[in-house]
Structure 1
């Protein structure tokens, strides 16, 4: 029987993407320490059902704004996958100073990185978002957006795109912190993540799809352009950039371009009895 690889920590282990990262790491025989708000909460029970979890998975309590808890969780780990980040499910009150989105995303990320430096972590992979890339009205028309493109924070603030503000500031400050401290840090920017869920609760991505399928009660839906990627591909990408020594900097993770109308048609073709938008 093969021996386990090194220990790694996954923040936000019980979430949509975090669960798949844990699944992927356990399949590769890593020892995984996953941070959750409450290890005894039944909503995290699905993690214990993943193959190899009984021997290779430890769930620990940690909060992004509680530095000692993060330090304790990361201590002894060779690598860290920082997946945890707040995603709004509704309009946020007082967004400029919101402790619901911006502070956990920015301060929480810096807390994780500080703990990584203090515990001498070998490499940290930070999950950012396509939201930190695409909101840039000054980007030349017709030029493909690549890893050099950053969302304009002031534009996002002016248009009240607070999630985009949180992800852009968190990633940019993480990169600067890595440069200042010498921390080996890689960031990955996935677009809208969809795919099968492991956790028993719905996540932000499935809520987006639910709204498009008329669960929100509207008679019509804007035919927006979505850039989507499978959650399993994102989890694989995160482990890939962790394992390959030559990876560095920033990576966009995307796969498909689809209109909302096309997405709704694909789902309703498979589930014709579902209440969906007619226009």
Structure 2
């Protein structure tokens, strides 16, 4: 971490080995303005090895062991950091057997541990990754109207429908802003839609698996409604913008313009005709759309989804995920 002594700002990224966090670490290192301290659960786990292969990682990236439920390890990780990006959060691939313990507690308690540690360490700004899952599960939002940052998922509605991930993100984000109001800690949240794109880490995450199902022949028939997607690299850009812009405040929706599933499949079929894509589409009514004007006012742009889809497939082929 010699760069920190040469004027680079030290920032912490929690859950550094994950899908979004890996791209954020890469972006932070590429600017040459930051020394990055990344938290991982196990320093010896090979799934984090890709981080140290990133350009300039040997000079400006330090990996530290931390468990978000262990306040002491979190406090040690953020001590001395000017900024913190809280990215770590469990994303269940199926219905959890114990949602309170497996999903909700890690998200809520983990977030509060990070925020408390940041307050004690006098961190200047914390950027928290939330999700549109904390936005759209709102039965009272006007039908057909694009969601804005003013919409929050209804907690009781989430519980009733056993949407535990939605509930965990909603509770964690509410707690974050309550903590900000109580302490004055500068907290900004980013709420991405379904994040897809090229992988840096060796393991396939939940959101990428959803995208892969369209091209691996897993589904012959799919519902044809608008799909809200966002490139992982664009999410990393949003996080850095939210950190660096002094005017940034509150929450920000982060999503590319919606594409119908049939349009996604047609793009894939045109570029990769040998893959087994869905053949039949069932038209469905109703869809969620997101107003991203607030984020775009910070200077955020999203790349064309055609570019994202192609870059993704080429990456998955190179990794052997797709033949």
Q: Same fold (TM over 0.5)?
A: yes
Cα deviation for residue 57 of structure 1 reads: 0.1
Q: Is the 8 A contact 1:4 1:31 kept in 2?
A: no
SS in 2 for 1:126: strand
Q: Residue 129 of structure 1 contacts residue 191 of structure 1 at CA under 8 Å; is this kept in 2?
A: yes
Match of 1:128 in 2: 130
The runs of 5 or more residues in structure 2 that have no matched partner are: 281-323
Distance 2:225 2:18 in 1: 26
Displacement of 1:218 in angstroms is 4.4
Q: Tell me the equivalent position of 2:66.
A: 62
Q: 1:136 touches 1:151 (CA, 8 Å); kept in 2?
A: yes
CA distance in 1, matches of 2:219, 2:231: 27
State the Cα distance separating 1:265 from its structure 2 match.
2.5
Structure 1 residue 266: deviation in Å?
1.9
Say which of 40, 43, 47 aligns to 1:43: 47
8 Å contact 2:177–2:187 — kept in the other structure? yes
List 4+ stretches of structure 1 deviating above 6 A: none
Q: Say whether 1:87 aligns with 2:88.
A: no
Counterpart selection for 2:140 from 128, 133, 138:
138
Q: 2:194 aligns with which of 173, 192, 203?
A: 192
Q: 8 Å contact 2:216–2:275 — kept in the other structure?
A: no
User: What is the aligned length?
Assistant: 275
**For residues 22-41 of structure 1, what are the structure 2 equivalents within 5 Å?**
22-29=25-32, 30-41=34-45
Partner of 1:265 in structure 2?
266
Do 1:12 and 1:35's aligned partners in 2 also have CA atoms closer than 8 Å?
A: yes
Q: Using the alignment, how far apart are the partners of 1:224 and 1:159 within structure 2?
A: 21
- State how far apart, in whole Å, the 1-side matches of 2:279 and 2:17 are: 35
Question: Which residue of structure 2 lines up, in the alignment, with residue 171 of structure 1?
Answer: 173
Worse overlay, 110-119 or 219-228: 219-228
Does residue 241 (structure 1) correspond to residue 242 (structure 2)? The answer is yes
Q: CA deviation at 1:4?
A: 4.2
- Distance in 2 (alpha carbons) for counterparts of 1:119 and 1:147: 29
Once residues 257 and 151 of structure 1 are traced to their aligned partners in structure 2, the CA distance between those partners, rounded to angstroms, is: 20
> Which shifted more, 203-212 or 16-25?
203-212
The structure-2 alpha-carbon separation of the partners of 1:4 and 1:22, relative to structure 1 and needing over 3 Å to count, comes to farther
Q: Is the 8 A contact 1:190 1:234 kept in 2?
A: yes
Structure 1 spans left out of the alignment, 5+ residues: none
Task: Name the Cα RMSD after superposition.
Answer: 1.5
